[in-house]
Structure formats: structure tokens, C-alpha cells
Structure 1
Amino acid sequence: MTSVSRRDVLRAAVATGAASLFGLPLSTLAAAARGGVVVIGSTNKPRHLNPAVQSGIATMFPGVQIFAPLLTVDGNWKAHPYLAERWSISDDARSVTLQLRKDARFHDGRPVTSADVQFSIETVRDNHPFKSMLAPVNAITTPDAHTAIVRLAEPHPALELVLTTSLLPIIPKHIYGDGQPVPTHPRNSTDVIGSGPFRVVEFKPGEHVILERFKDFFLPGKPQLERIIIREYKDTASLLLALERGEIDVHPGLTEPRDIERAKKIPGVNVVPNTGPAIGRLVWLAFNTANPKLADKRVRQAINYAIDKHFIINTLFGGVHLRSTGPIAAGSPFYSKEVEAYELDLDKARQLLDAAGLRPGANGVRLALTVDAIPGASDQRAIQEYLKPALAKIGIDVSVRQSPDFPIWSRRISNQDFELTLDSVWNWGDPVIGVHRTWLTANIRKGVIWSNTQSYSNPRVDELLAAAGQERDAARRKALYREFQEIVVDDVPVAFLHEVNLYLGYGKRIAEPVDNIWGLVGPLDEFGLKQG
């Protein structure tokens, strides 16, 4: 929808006495008509807005606009100053010294200090589901109000990248340090105060998040926009329709071939592939290895051999996505293709089931399993439906279970109330950030989604990840991760299906898409509109 048509619609609403349109206040749409607002659509539904204690795009996308990270990173993986204007790493790589900007303020006017940095890092370390991300941090010292020194038990080669994302937001100690548990703190959702480029105007779970330019932001002239509206949609179909109708300016994640082609045909809409390359979004079929039905890895291997990954990629998804073969995404420097590919082999699958003692009954069924999927993810729904006839060929009767909303799915999976589930789990740049969390025995954390929800445990994997997490030599680190990938792929706690190629769709009002490795999960302070 152009700025003119926005004004026309607004005038019509005013003429009829409407108080809102599209579920948004007329005052907000009036600002949009003047060109100061961007509406971003989303199917993600955040429960709260504090990414210090919650992973996932739903919270991280608005969170990084509200809470400033210490550093940012460009499209070439190079870190730049942000809330910290300077930083240095000690010769032994066991400490990082951060010099904070002296003019940084929280949205309530209070200064951002080293005490806030200390409190934030400790909060993330102790509460975030990516437990390995800050595991080496054993202390943060604050010699003065604008200096924080992060002290490490061992070298942490991923730390600089951790500092660049909403995975490590700087939250106000004077609000969250009141003794209430941060994961359930009421200020995660109400009267949210951060230090980022935008402040919260309104958060209506299930409807929208409205963010307004923070006028005292520490970077002069930024952000460029007056407001960002993140409007929630029930599914990908309604989100695409919103792009066609001009209700939104940005579609953050086109992943289905038909949607991508349809978006390319919308007048004035640009479609850009491979956005947010550091995210490394893998889609897999996860096994509850604690369930007796799936405890034998031969059963898991059999299921993996019975799934035609090429059919999924080429037929279900039109060749848009990439083949995934292991826990590290293909774009990572630590990726190894020297693993078992589990190409379709029904005979081998049946032999493995026979060897595991699962022979066909009178009706030909060896085993009955239930498969879940993230609600609202139509790509996962398609795979979920495919699995029923695919696994029937080897005598496994699959029942499809749907969750009415994300919180219910999350509760089921994180509490091991599942047998099989499709899932989308992201690498987040460095394996220490987004990979270790899924496979470490120490990260089996009941009730925490996107931790080690498969209940997978292998002592050698734990050793390899511990060593790789502190190895400073790139070649040696790559060798450690190569062995790790071989073991995980052989153990099959998940069946790796494909790597998602994320496409961004944006309207003609948008000047340029974001240029950083995180895509829309980075700060949008430079995001702007075309002039004139």
C-alpha cells in the first residue's frame, strides 16, 4: 500500500468514525501516512519481550530493538562498536574489557552503567536456554561505571559474536534486580524499559508490538524510523495476503516456493534471498531418545533411511532449500559433509528394525508413533503429513498430532511429552551459541524449549564440544567439530532434513534491506524509507 493509499484509507476511517484500522490506532496509521512508520508482519507470537531469558525469533526480533547489544556486526562478519564504544581481548584470551558509551541511557532516562552489563551477562548466563553460550564466564568486574571486564574460565572464541546479538541484551538492573525472578518478571511484558533504538508503546500479545523511536538514543540521527509496528498473523497464508494487500511493508521470512513466486509478482515488492546467513536455520525430525520406543538408535536410523529428503526439498519445496546433513549449517566454516547422508533406503530401514526386534505384526505394523510440528508452520505441516505414508512403507504407523498454539507445542516438547516432532533450530553463527545447546548432556533442561529436548547424551560428544568451545586454533577446532558431526549423525537423535533459505520481501517504500549477518534479528536503527 503506498503512502497515498494509506492516507486515503485513513481518511475513510475518520469519515466513518472508526477509532482503529487493522486493529491499530488511527494515530499510528496517521504517522504511517506521513512515511515514518514501517509495518512488519510476523506469524511469531511472543509471550514477552525480554530475550535475556528466552530464545526464539518471536522474542528476539522485537527484543533487539528494545534492548541494545554491546556490539553489532556487518554483512562481512566484522564486529563494530555499539553500546560498548571500545573493547579489547587479553593476550591469554581469558578476559574481555568493555568500555561503555558515557551517553547511553535507558528509556526511563537512567544511565547505562557497568553494573547493568554485569547484571545482564549474569542473567543471561544463568537463565538463557543456550547454556553453553556464556558457560565460560565466571566473573564480571566493574572497576568504574563505564568499564566492565568479562573474566573467563577458559578461552571463548565465540564470545565476540555473542556480544553482537539479542542473545545478550543489556537490561536495566534497577528494574530487574528487585529480587523477582527475571524469567517471570512482570516488566518483561508491561512497561518494558530498554536501552535500544526503539521503546515500547504497546504490546498486545496475539495482536501487535508497537515500537517508537527513542529520542535519546546514543547514536546521533538514529534510528531513522519514527515507529515500527510488528503485526501478528495467524499463519503464513494470511501473512502473504497482508503483503499483497499492502497492509505490511516487510515480510520477514518467505520460505515456501509458491509464496516466494507469488511475492515476486506483487507490484513494487522486492524479494531478497539468503537473509540472515548467520542464523543457519535447520529443519529436522527430532526423536525423544528417553522414550523406550526410540531408545535404540537402530530404530532412529531406520526412520532416517525411510525419509526421502530429496522429495521433501524438490517436490514439497520446489528446490528452494538446501540439503541438511548434520548439526552444523553448510554456510559455517565448521561444516563437514563427511557424514552418513541417510539417502532413501527402505530395505536397509527394514533390516535395522528387524535387528532391533521390531518385526511386522499381522497387520504389517511394527511400531506406532505420534509426530508433532510447530503450529502455524505450513512447511512443517507438509512434512508431517508426508511422514505418515513414508514410514508406513517400513511398518511404522504414524499419527499426526497438532498443537493449537505455540505455547502448547513448546510445553509438550520441552517437557518430553512427545515421540517425534518436527522442529526448526538455528545455529546462530558460531557452534558455541546455537549448536552446543542441543547436544550437551548438561543442557537437558526440562521445561526449556530449544535446549537438549531430545534428552540426547553421549560422553564423547560432551568432550568434543567442551574442547571445541575453547580451542583458538581454527584448524584444530574444525577437526573437533568434524568428529562431533560424525558421532551425532550416527547416533540420530534427530533426522536432518533441510536448511531453510530465508527470503525477505519488502515494499517499494523501503530504502534498502538490512545488511548484517543477523538480518532482522539485528538492530534496525539504519532501516529507512525512500525519500520523496
Structure 2
Amino acid sequence: MKMMTRLMGAAVIAASALSSAPLQAEGTLVIASSQVPRHLNGAVQSGIATAVPSTQIFASPLRYDENWEPQPYLAESWTVSDDGLSVTLNLVKNATFHDGTPVTSEDVAFSIMTIKENHPFKSMFAPVEAIETPDTHTAVIKLSNPHPALLLALSPALAPILPKHIYGDGQDVKAHPANAAPIGSGPFMLSEFTPGEAIVLKKNPNFFIEGRPMLDEIIIRIINDPSALLIAMENGEADVYPFMAGSQEIKRLSEADHLNVTNEGYAAVGPINWLAFNTKSPKLSDVRVRQAISYAVDRDFITKALHRGVSTPQRSPIIESSPFFDAAAVTAYDVDLEKAKALMAEAGFGDGMELTVDYIPGPAEQQKSIAEYLKSQLAKIGIDVTVRAAPDFPTWAGRVGGHDFELTMDVVFNWGDPVIGVHRTYLTDNIRQGVIWSNTQSYSNARVDEILAQAAIEGDFAKRKALYSEFQALVTQDVPIYYINATPYHTAYKKDLVNAPMGIWGTMHPMDQVHWAK
């Protein structure tokens, strides 16, 4: 066995929400957010809205520092077998859930298997065959094949450890009442959750890491009005605003003397803004229609004009900053209206068609503005587009997860490694009704399935890169998705905040070391 014991790193990350009170008590962090969580259990729900509070409430086996190195968390050490088919987690012995129940290996085993069965990222723990629990503080993960991203998948936003004594009662974990009032073993405990309005987290006085957390309280309050959110940051009513992507808000808050604005903290996120096609729609099942729409959209206009240059073009399912991106493999679909019209005619839609496009409410410049641009741009090739708004995120997610859409704007993360964040969108066996950020496009290509299965177990980087090059070539030819831009996430935070969100997971990381200089 190869020992991989790590010392706890010092890097920590902040979170996301908004307060109405102009004055904050000492030890309180107010986070501004437009993200509306459906619930707070990150074991069965991905996305910013859930991950930010979930990573405070629940602890995970490992956490990662700013150098992409795994660090101890619930697991004080771990070993990986020489054949890569077994990972042993040696748990800390003083961790308890917020109700006082000790955290044991049974909780770890239950949680990982629950995530495997219920999380949108089906490929994340696919090789996990079983988890043995030889004693109270040892969990042995047994794999069917080596998993190059397993340790990364044990991060806070991806592997929250649930209390088996609460979630193991036979109820559907995705609809469990505890999701709205979760009990974890993380640095903060849920005090209040008012859906669509506020999340209040209080310090866990029995947290298993001595001297932490360093804050007394985190308030996450959701503000749907972008102007009100910016005013709160400018007036000092809110302390942190993460996942900020609009060019005007980035510029405006950069001018505030009491704030720092940074694009650091998103290295592992890999956010891609894209236009997704429901490939089961009779109008969109013909690849020529999808290609026609792709040739009609001008991503350079979007990034340079609509986004005022803060966004960079994205041409691939793999974020272009990744070492697995291959520019030579992708079909970029540079704008060509004549070619688009010819493809529409070949597909039998020379007289045009009608389509509806949805978008995520909230980040208007990255979502609504592009949807409205599509209406005018696609009219040039005979497509009459109706822009369909949603009153809130859960409504949009219900439509898309339920496959009740034709076109939709979306933001989807690579999550550090393709096997975690990319595979889920394209695997045939991940077409799952009612699960957002699965294969909601209903895309199916047998060769893509084969390639991704091989890439998920390949340990040699060069061979893995070659597999992902073929994958990118096939997917951009089939175009179940038109890739637009890398989302330009920034974080604004008060200058006297110590240990602000600079790590690889940004604010989707425990905030046990965040504190005020004063």
C-alpha cells in the first residue's frame, strides 16, 4: 500500500448571500447571492445554490488546497492500493454530527453509495462496487477499475457525508424532509432556511477541528434584483458576492474602494455557458438542424459585444483551460448563415420552424441576453424563436430536468476532471428524467459511450488525452450542445476579510478559516 497522508492546508474559501441589515455583528459573514436552492443536500443535488451551504453543513472525507493537493478532513489519512482498486480512509475519531451522534465508517459507506445512486454525476462514483467497514473509523472503497478522479470526487461539494441514522430510514433521499433541515458534521449548523429568501448558519461549537470555525454566523440571503444586490455590496450591507459574471457588475464593484474583485477561486469549476438542444424533439432530432443553428450563432459577437470582452469563446465540451482540450479536434461552427440556410433546407425545414428557448433566471448577461439575441439571430435562417422566462431557478430546473424544453441556455461545470463533470452530460445511461444536469439533451452515441468508459479508467495521461480528443470530435459533430463561452466568474469581497475565496473550488468549500481582520 502507498501511504498518502497530508497535512491540513491553510487555504480556505468563502460563501454566497445577502443581508438587509446595514450593520453586522462581529463574527458574521453576509453573502450576496441570486442563487435559489431547492434544498441543501449536496449528495443528491449539484450546483452553486446547494453546494455553498451544503459544504458548510456537511463535512467530506477530503478537502483540496489551492495547489490541487488533497488534504485531510473527515479522513485524517488515506492509502491507495498499488493496483488502484482499493482506497482506505482512516477517519478522525472525534467527529460528531450536529445532533451529537458520532461520525463512523458506516456513515461514509452509506453516503458514498447514496451519492452513487442519486447524484446527477453518475460517472463520479460509477467504479465503486462496495465499501467495507472493518471498524468504526475505517472505510475501504472497493473499485471495479482504477478511478483517476476518485480523490477529487471526495471533495466537500461532491461527497458530503450524511448521517445514516437520519437518511437511512427508507425514504427517498431526493425528497427526504431532512434535505430542508439537514444535520451534518461540518463547521456550521443550519439555523434558518427560508426558501427563496435566506439561509442562516450558526457556528458548530463541537466541530472536530480545534479552533474552527472562526466565524460565529453566516447569512446567505437571496436577492433576485441585480441592482439591489450591487447596492448592498457597495453600501457594506453584504460582505461577499461570488459567482459574479456580468461585465457591468464586475466593473462597478471594482470601483468600490472597500472591495477587492478577483477571478481567482474557480480553477476547478470549469464553467461553460452553452445552448442545449433537446435531441428527442421532432424539430431537433435531425443533426442538420442543430448544425444549422450552430452556424447561425455568432459567439464572437456574444463574447465581445454582449459580454463586453469579459468572456472568452468556448468551442468544446471540455473547458479550453483544461489540458484535455484539443482545438484541432473540435468543429467550431464559425458563423455562416448561408450554410445554415442550406442545412435547414436539406433537413426539410426550408420554410422555417418555431422553437422555444429557456434560460436560467438571474445572470441576465450570460443567460437572458443571449436568449433574446438568439431570437433575432435565428430569424435570419427562418426560425421563429419564443423566449420563455421562468419565475425562479427551481421552475427552470424542473422544465429542463423533466425534458420539457426545445432549446435552453445553461451553465454547466467541468468539476475539475472530465470524469466528474463532463461525462454526465453525454452518457446514454445518464439520461434521467427529473434530474437536472444529467444528460437532459437525451443525447446518445455508442462510440462516445465507449470512449468515456475507457477514459474513466485510463491512468496514462497521453492515452487519456487521445480518448478525449476523439470524444470532442464526435460530440462537436453531433452537436447536442452549442458551446458559447467560458463563464467569467469573479468574486467581490471586503478588503478586511481574511482567507477570502481563492481556492480551486471557490465558495463551494468549507469556510472554517474565514474571519475578519478586525
* TM-score with structure 1 setting the length: 0.92
**Is contact 1:85-1:100 (8 Å) kept?**
yes
Give how far 1:22 is off.
5.5
Instruction: State how 1:154-173 maps to structure 2 within 5 Å.
Output: 154-173=145-164
Give how far 1:119 is off.
0.6
**Is contact 2:261-2:492 (8 Å) kept?**
yes
**Is contact 2:27-2:216 (8 Å) kept?**
yes
Q: How far apart, in 1, do the equivalents of 2:389 and 2:500 lie? A: 35
Gaps of 5+ in 1: 1-20, 361-365
Instruction: Report whether the alignment pairs 1:243 with 2:233.
Output: yes
Give how far 1:508 is off.
2.7
Instruction: State how 1:153-302 maps to structure 2 within 5 Å.
Output: 153-190=144-181, 192-302=182-292
- Which residue does the alignment assign to 1:53? 44
**Is contact 1:198-1:211 (8 Å) kept?**
yes
- Which residue does the alignment assign to 1:321? 311
**Relative contact order (C-alpha < 8 Å, sep 6+): which is higher?**
2
- Which residue does the alignment assign to 1:8? none
- Which residue does the alignment assign to 2:393? 406
Instruction: Report whether the alignment pairs 1:492 with 2:479.
Output: yes
Give how far 1:275 is off.
2.4
The one-letter code matched in structure 1 to 2:380 is K
- Which residue does the alignment assign to 2:443? 456
Give how far 1:124 is off.
0.4
Q: How far apart, in 1, do the equivalents of 2:307 and 2:482 lie? A: 18
**Is contact 1:74-1:515 (8 Å) kept?**
no
Q: How far apart, in 1, do the equivalents of 2:438 and 2:76 lie? A: 33
Q: How far apart, in 2, do the equivalents of 1:188 and 1:54 lie? A: 10
Give how far 1:238 is off.
2.5
Instruction: State how 1:329-368 maps to structure 2 within 5 Å.
Output: 329-338=319-328, 339-360=330-351, 366-368=352-354
Where in structure 1 do 4 or more consecutive aligned residues deviate above 2 Å? 21-24, 235-238
Aligned CA-pair RMSD: 1.4
**Is contact 2:246-2:363 (8 Å) kept?**
no
**Is contact 2:58-2:156 (8 Å) kept?**
no
Instruction: Report whether the alignment pairs 1:76 with 2:80.
Output: no
From the two aligned structures, give the one with the greater helix fraction.
1
Q: How far apart, in 1, do the equivalents of 2:43 and 2:60 lie? A: 11
Give how far 1:474 is off.
0.8
**Is contact 2:427-2:449 (8 Å) kept?**
yes
Instruction: Report whether the alignment pairs 1:371 with 2:361.
Output: no
- Which residue does the alignment assign to 2:56? 65
Q: How far apart, in 2, do the equivalents of 1:359 and 1:205 lie? A: 46
Instruction: State how 1:34-183 maps to structure 2 within 5 Å.
Output: 35-183=26-174
Give how far 1:442 is off.
0.2
- Which residue does the alignment assign to 1:14? none
Aligned pairs, number:
499
* 3-state DSSP of counterpart to 1:311: helix
- Which residue does the alignment assign to 2:370? 383
Give how far 1:215 is off.
1.3
* 3-state DSSP of counterpart to 1:407: helix
Give how far 1:265 is off.
1.1
1:32-63 deviation line (CA, Å, top 9, x unaligned) = 33x20010011111121111111111111100
Q: How far apart, in 1, do the equivalents of 2:461 and 2:337 lie? A: 39
The one-letter code matched in structure 2 to 1:404 is P
Q: How far apart, in 2, do the equivalents of 1:405 and 1:419 lie? A: 19
- Which residue does the alignment assign to 2:294? 304
1:404-456 deviation line (CA, Å, top 9, x unaligned) = 12122111111111110001111100111111110000000011111000000
Greater mean alpha carbon deviation, residues 508-517 or residues 419-428: 508-517
Gaps of 5+ in 2: 1-17
Structure 1 pair 201–352 and aligned structure 2 pair: CA distance change class (3 A): same
1:177-222 deviation line (CA, Å, top 9, x unaligned) = 11222111111113x2100011111111111111111111111111
* 3-state DSSP of counterpart to 1:368: strand
Q: How far apart, in 2, do the equivalents of 1:274 and 1:51 lie? A: 23
**Is contact 2:357-2:406 (8 Å) kept?**
yes
**Is contact 2:20-2:237 (8 Å) kept?**
no
Give how far 1:512 is off.
3.5
- Aligned counterpart for 2:430 among listed residues 443, 459, 472: 443
Q: Percent of aligned positions with the same letter in both sequences?
A: 54
Q: How far apart, in 1, do the equivalents of 2:173 and 2:356 lie? A: 35
